[in-house]
Amino acid sequence: MTDLVDALQRRIPADRIATDPDVISAYAHDEAAWAPYGTPAALVRAGSTEEVRALVEVCAARGVPIVPRGAGTGLSGGANALDGCVLLSLERMNEIVEIDPHERLAVVQPGVVNDDLRAEAARHGLWYPPDPASAPWSTIGGNVATNAGGVCCVKYGVTRDYVLAVEAVVGRGEVVRLGRRTAKGVVGYDLCGLMVGSEGTLGVITEITVRLRGARPPERTIVGYFDTLHAAGEAVSAVTAAGIVPSALELIDRYCLQAVDAWKNMGLSADADVLLLARSDTADDAEADAIVRCFKDAGATWSARSTDEEEAEALFAARRLAYPALERLGPVLTEDVCVPRSLVPEMLTRIERAARDNDTHIANIAHAGDGNLHPLIIGVPGDEAARERAERAFDRIVDDAIALGGTVTGEHGVGLLKRRGLHAELDPAVVALHHGVKRALDPAGIFNPGKVFGEP
């Protein structure tokens, strides 16, 4: 360890390197409940691409793992430390390098917070759509690493749809630029797209060029109350079957609302066990009215367009705050399965069954409009038996999602928690292809080893 730190200090400013265990411990893991993590040898808070390159060269020469991280808001263990690794924090690389209003693009460093980019784009009359619930804290680099989505992705797509180019440090310290700024281009393989969702296993992204859209149109909010998860799922299917593409379609249950209200005292209430929150940004009222009809036809006990914008914003804020609100009550194991939208009712029914069969409470939030469900499995502090039941429910939900033709993760990434699910979902020949890509871009095997696929 001393040799490693000495080598780093010869290449990187000393104030970038930390070895104090109390400092390092704050960076050693993300927000994934119960995902294991090790003891790092050092923490490097890099300030430039050149410093990242120097770090990679030093670690590649010694076979020392590098675990990159952004704000640490991940929910799969993807940023968790390995014993003897170097943790690479990109939080100081937080410059918005360029906003180009004519080409409608932005160039940012990976440590830029999602909401900060959105605010800066808005000052130019532009909009960056990907908006994970962690947008006030999560960074663009982390969003790219997991291909994050968010509330509006049902209509406007996920992070991959907006990444035009990246600069990255790969291999044994080579700095490469992948992708392009032009609207079109098919020279070579899509290596830029390959980096999106790679969870730090193929290299370290040090700059990102993203596509921007014009300013967002005004939205209308529709609220539906339902007595059961299945009925809410039927409403989601009805919206899909009608060919409606809302700008948001979110699910949140009463338990989540109550947890948020107990924390933030927002005055939330609902005369239902499950709420659907939809938004429409079309030019007229026809789409919003059609969503109301879909909700009612599917069995909503009450459904209407919101006439109180403040109340509507509070409900969507509660949707975003559900996870941290529940986390205050005990450990939360967060799922991230995605199924075909027509099968959302069936998947919600199976989630309820997993809770009942394992004597575990599961709260529910979801990007229901694109079939991305986030059941929140509530643990009991210090209760090992409750933990085992929660983990069984977690595995059951993963298996059910695959059985319905879905995927084990829609936007949180595989990290550590979903490795079993990945191998259940993907054919061994496909896994072998991924390992081949990994070896090509990471010949020294130092970039976040053991995550996603595990060891080949």
Q: pLDDT of 358-367, one tens digit each?
A: 999 999 999 9
Give pLDDT, residue 211.
98
pLDDT tens column, 309-322:
888 888 888 888 99
Closest of 200, 174, 176 to residue 89, by C-alpha:
200
pLDDT tens column, 398-425:
999 999 999 999 999 999 999 999 999 9
Mean pLDDT within 357-382: 95
Q: How far is CA 390 from the centre of its chain?
A: 21
Q: Specify the 3-state DSSP secondary structure of 122.
A: helix
Give pLDDT, residue 277.
95
All structural domains of the chain, each given as residue ranges with its CATH number in brackets, are 2-89 (3.30.43.10), 96-214 (3.30.465.10), 226-312 (no CATH), 330-443 (3.30.70.2740)
This prediction's pTM = 0.95
Tokens of 253: 């249950």
Confidence of residue 456 (pLDDT cuts 50, 70, 90): low
Q: Name the E strands within 254-318.
A: 274-280, 302-305
Tokens of 55: 């770090």
Tokens of 96: 């918005």
Residue 81 CA to residue 64 CA, distance in Å, equals 12
Give pLDDT, residue 26.
95
